[in-house]
Chains A and B, each alone.
Chain A
Amino acid sequence: MSAIALEVRDVIKTFETDTGSINAVDQVSFSVSHGEFVALVGPSGSGKTTMLSILAALLTPTSGQVLIDGQDLARMGEAQRVALRREKIGFTFQSNNLIPFLSALENVEFMLRLNQRFDKSGKLRAAELLSRLGLGERLNNLPNQMSGGQQQRVAIARALIHSPTLVLADEPTASLDTERAFQVVQTFAALIHENQRAGIMVTHDLRMVQYTDRVLQMRDGKLVKIYSDKQEILALAKGE
């Protein structure tokens, strides 16, 4: 059993709205190990994005604890949280992922620049990673010269290049056709496994969970079911 990368303990996030307060995330606990790829599924409004924002130290939980590599996010100052996002977390967002004035390669390299780790070998690794994601011909394209799916793959490379502990992906396949979606998630899973990252992918598309090691199902902010048996996961992916 690998070491624990992420630990979530009794996290609650309450939003105050005009109509009253709602618990977008309600008493959620789970953990993810290095080398483990986890899917986060659930109907719209079930709290997936809220959960992801909390894990990314973008949102502070109302109560509960989040530990990344044993470090408690709540005990960090804002500057430390920024450093944590830059060093230990890789992100892909649903859209508007990339810096529009940087090429595919530069977008990936930028993650290394942020971490003061940009050099010749970094540049080479960035190009290799992009090639592996099928973008070897697109290294110098600007985001607006690429399809949504290509941009998504650049974002995946950016989320992995700096060897983060935790990789968070919000709906990475939303703008891909089925064929591409399978391919991208498969590569994503392989990279996470190879490099011993802890990956969490939010998805609407249950077919994608077949490449993950565990599926966390949310409803109304609660973690209602965890699938960790491979057979169960495959059945879920087939819609059974």
Chain B
Amino acid sequence: MYSLSLATYLALKEVWRNRGRFFLVSLVIALITLLVLFIAALGEGLGTNNREYISKVDGQLVVFLEKADYIISASRLNQTTLRAVRRVQGVEAAGPLSAANTAILLPEQKVLKVSLLGVEAGRPGAPQLQAGRTFLSATAREAIVDQRVLDRSDIQLGDTITIRSTQGTDDQFYDLKVVGTTSGQAFFFQPSIFVAPSVWEQVRPKSEAELNNTTPAINIIIVRASDPAQAAQVQENLLASVNNIEVADIPTTINNIPGYSAQQGTVQTQGFFTLLIGVLVIGGFFQIQILQKVPQIGVLKAIGASNPVVGASAIIQISVVTAIGVAIGGLLTYLFSLGFPPTVPLAFDGKSSAFAIAALLAIGPLGGLVSVFYAVRIEPLKALRLS
């Protein structure tokens, strides 16, 4: 279409002849892009670190103690409940999960804080192995560790690690042999190490009152339905036949991780406001520019440029400047992300980055909308009267 090529000609000539000024605007957009992409990556990273283990378990339902409000740490179940759950119709398998915090001793007096998770080998809740093997027996002092533990220390498969747990009033130290590794198993922001339930009971931090416990305490039970599509039915069966429990699906469990929803909400709000600021900054710039260009646009119209040409030219210009800014910002983000330490929970996931980039590309035209309307409404008579 001829008007479009004319509009493109005008838009690009103007950008090129004023490239210094337009480049500055692109840089501002690049910085906004950098910020938005990092916020998106942070949100993704925070979310991942919180939900990673739970989102990967090989099951559809989670059994909690009644009135635990789906909070894992508030739920206390026992072996009787576990056996009862396994007998419910539609349950293919059920595995206990016991969660605690501990610290691995590293050289030079350093420690690495980890989640200590008790799981039964081969049952739902046990991690997928990346290398090595699972526990040989329910009492072997063996552990499967998250790849992040290896990344953040010099520990390797086959090494023996020492963990420190406070039991009663004393610090106790336990040796565990690393027999297997798994990856991407963060739980409550910490990398995880997995041990068998009775080992877990022995080595976990305990209060004075719990010192003589030998039967493993269970926080939650992860349930795999025979037919995953029938999970809702299985949930009803569980509630009907086992006393004192509540049951949630995986997404509900994730959303009830303490702070998870609030955290994601905070990050999303930050992202939204950054985009909003972007819209205002770009809108402001182009509005000021249009005000300065009134005589020029008047002349254009007086010599016969149509409104579609003038409007399209303004939109093309804004889009080009925005696209350049987003491209620079994307590149900057990539370069920065290379230099970030693994402890910063950044996760550049394709879907959320693509969404952020689409939103960023939209803010230019959105911000410039007012100025485009303004440009279209300038009277060609201005060319004569302002002279």
Contact = CB atoms under 8 A, between A and B. Distances in A.
B283 to A, nearest CB: 22
Given A96-B296, A113-B6, A53 B384 contact: yes
Contact of A101 (B2, B18, B303): B18
A116 B299 CA distance: 18
Contacts of A116: 2
Interface string A101-116: 1100010000101111
A59 B385 CA distance: 11
B13 A170 contact: no
Contacts, number: 78
B304 A83 contact: yes
B335 interface: no
B14 A86 contact: no
A59 B379 CA distance: 10
A181 interface: no
A102 B16 CA distance: 10
Given A96-B296, A101-B14, A113-B9, A91 B386 contact: no
B386 A96 contact: yes
B379 to A, nearest CB: 8
B296 A99 contact: yes
Residue among B381, B383, B384 facing the most chain A CB atoms (10 A cut-off)? B384
The number of chain A residues touching the other chain, given as a range, is 35 or more
Interface in B5-33: 6, 9-10, 13-14, 16-18
B303 A95 contact: no
Interface in B239-277: none
Contacts of B2: 116
A212 to B, nearest CB: 21
B46 to A, nearest CB: 46
Interface in B339-387: 379-381, 383-387
B80 to A, nearest CB: 82
Given A58-B381, A106-B13, A96 B295 contact: yes
A75 B386 CA distance: 28
Residue among A84, A101, A142 facing the most chain B CB atoms (10 A cut-off)? A101
Contacts of B10: 99
Residue among B16, B295, B304 facing the most chain A CB atoms (10 A cut-off)? B304
Interface in B275-297: 295-296
Interface string B285-320: 000000000011011111111110000000000000
Given A53-B381, A101-B13, A101-B14, A87 B304 contact: yes
Interface in A163-216: 170-171
A53 B302 CA distance: 10
Given A101-B14, A106-B13, A116-B2, A49 B384 contact: yes
Nearest to B13: A101
Interface of B: 2, 6, 9-10, 13-14, 16-18, 295-296, 298-307, 379-381, 383-387
18 contacts: A53-B381, A53-B384, A58-B381, A58-B384, A86-B303, A89-B304, A91-B303, A91-B383, A93-B299, A93-B383, A95-B387, A96-B298, A96-B299, A101-B16, A101-B17, A106-B13, A113-B9, A171-B387
Interface of A: 49, 52-53, 56, 58-59, 79, 82-87, 89, 91, 93-102, 106, 111, 113-116, 142, 158, 170-171
